[in-house]
Amino acid sequence: MRTSQTPPCPRCAAPVLLTARYPHAWRNRSGKRVAGFKETVLCRSCDVSDPAAGELLALLSDDGPLTPAAFEAFSGLVRDWLDAVRDRAPNRAELDAQEARWRAGEL
């Protein structure tokens, strides 16, 4: 997990609050398991209406270092957020828009 030197949001290009990278696997056409990693970003703009991100966004929106109590809550909030977003299927329209930005050299 990174909270500094994070890439821009792939959805809106704004700076993100954190990037989480975690193991991810799927089955290919032949049924063979393919293991890899998946990366998810938490964006102050794009995730504001996501109930899974609400408390984490609120915690990270405060300027300055986390207090000891906030730091203790941080890991649980990240875990809850990742549990919610880990298995979400991509939005096809957003995926197509991201591909268009990539092909245009914007990513």
% of the chain at pLDDT higher than 70:
98
pTM, to two decimals: 0.70
Q: 41-60 burial string, b = 16+ CB within 10 Å, else e?
A: bbbbebbeebebbeebbebb
Q: For the chain, which residues score pLDDT lower than 70?
A: none
Q: Please state, in angstroms and rounded to a whole number, the distance separating the CA atoms of residues 107 and 98.
A: 8
The DSSP call for residue 15 is: B
